[in-house]
Structure 1
Amino acid sequence: MNQTIITAVYDGGVLRPLEALDLAAGQPVRLQLVEGDDDSAMQRPPASSSLTSVGYLPKSEALEIEFHDGSVYLYFGVPASVYDELAQAESRGRYFNAHVRNEYATRKTR
């Protein structure tokens, strides 16, 4: 049996892997949950008028942005300082557009 360890985030009833998985549609998998790792829970500031939610995994340097249309994107290699500035920005949407969008590797997850 092939074993792969991934980091995922449980949010709103959905478990979201933070990296792409090479699985066929409908392929069954067995999950083992490990709690307590600093990377297992995202830090989340309040939502904004542009963004439904913003989350950050410090050890993975992964920033998750959910937009009001329901789409979710992961941005990779984002320093904690960028997350902190985004979380404290007067306008998170403006900060995101100026400092995150088109600046980091990204993947749409939903």
Structure 2
Amino acid sequence: MKRINEYKKLFNVEQDTDLKKLKSTYRNLVKEWHPDKFLEGDDRAAEAEIKSRQIIDGYHFLVSIAPETKTRNMEKYTASTQSGIADYRHKGQLLEITFFDGTSYEYFGVPKSVFTKLNHSDKPLRFAKRNILNSYLYRQSAKELQEA
């Protein structure tokens, strides 16, 4: 959740922003912080390099959790969640679930208590459908997107 809030603050966006506004903000930030804009000896050149990477990562992240992206990918998501849970990992408040069809999704803000209940459940898919899959903010796993 901390990462989401940092990216939203960086892009100065509200809870649900449309992709058109997000893209416009992204382009303006990239223009402002592009590393080629600063001279190589300038102290701000290194800062611009870091900031530009952060802007690019933030943009891709916010696009992946945008309502329009979720709507566009809902059919695939539904099919994946019906295939069954192959594996899951929890770190902090991030739960990553891998389904039998090979897709992985990250769920944000999942407390340890919910993960523990998932872990002890006789039917993890049933528990996940009722308590996780539609209750928490999610996106397709970044690792999977990089491999594609």
Q: 1:23 to 1:104 in 2, by over 3 A?
A: closer
Runs of 4 or more, structure 1, over 2 Å off, are 1-4, 20-24
Q: 2:89 aligns with which of 46, 49, 55?
A: 55
Q: 1:102 aligns with which of 130, 134, 137?
A: 134
Higher fraction of strand: 1
> 1:3: how far off?
3.5
Query: Runs of 5+ in structure 2 lacking a partner?
Result: 1-45, 61-82
Q: 2:57 aligns with which of 21, 27, 31?
A: 21
Number of the residue aligned with 2:50: 3
Does 2:104 match 1:72? yes
> 1:72: how far off?
0.3
TM (normalized to structure 2)?
Answer: 0.42
What SS does structure 2 have at the residue aligned with 1:3?
helix
1:55-98 Cα shifts (integer Å, max 9, x gaps): 0002xx00000000000000000110000000010100100000
> 1:100: how far off?
0.2
Percent sequence identity over aligned pairs:
29
> 1:21: how far off?
2.4
CA distance in 2, matches of 1:22, 1:82: 27
**Structure showing greater Rg:** 2
**How many residue pairs align between the two structures?**
69
Query: Runs of 5+ in structure 1 lacking a partner?
Result: 5-19, 25-48
TM (normalized to structure 1)?
Answer: 0.55
Output aligned runs, 1:74-89, within 5 Å: 74-89=106-121
Higher fraction of helix: 2
Q: CA RMSD in A?
A: 2.4
Number of the residue aligned with 2:40: none
